[in-house]
C-alpha cells in the first residue's frame, strides 16, 4: 500500500532538496523562480516524498478533507 504513493510520480536521478542525497531517484515537488527569472526545480527523493505525503495525509485528516496522493509538484 505504501508503495502506491510513489507510483504517482515520475522518477529521475537527481539531488534531494531535503536530505541532500545526491544522484538518487527524485521527482519534482515544486518550482522556485529566482529574481533573475531562472526557474529552479525542487526535487525530493523517494524517502522524503513519502514523508511529505504522510504529512499531507495527516493534515487532510485533521481538516476532515479527503487525502489525494500524487498532488505534490502539480
Ligand atoms: Zn530526501
pLDDT class for 2, splitting at 50, 70, 90?
A: low
Distance linking the first and last C-alpha atoms of the chain: 22
pLDDT of amino acid 32: 92
Ligand 1 geometric centre to CA of 38 (Å): 23
Cα separations in angstroms, 27 against 7, 36, 43, 60, 63: 11, 24, 5, 22, 27
pLDDT of amino acid 1: 47
pLDDT of amino acid 74: 75
Ligand 1 geometric centre to CA of 1 (Å): 20
Residues 40, 43, 46, CA angle at the centre, nearest 5°? 175
pLDDT tens digits, 20-71:
999 999 999 999 999 999 999 999 999 999 999 999 999 999 999 999 999 9
pLDDT of amino acid 29: 95
Amino acid at each position: 500500500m505504501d508503495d502506491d504513493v510513489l507510483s504517482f510520480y515520475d522518477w529521475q536521478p537527481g539531488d534531494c532538496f531535503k536530505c541532500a542525497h545526491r544522484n538518487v531517484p527524485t521527482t519534482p515537488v515544486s518550482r522556485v523562480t529566482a529574481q533573475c527569472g531562472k526557474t529552479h526545480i525542487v526535487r525530493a527523493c523517494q524517502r522524503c516524498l513519502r514523508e511529505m505525503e504522510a504529512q499531507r495525509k495527516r493534515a487532510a485528516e485533521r481538516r476532515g478533507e479527503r487525502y489525494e496522493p500524487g498532488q505534490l509538484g502539480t
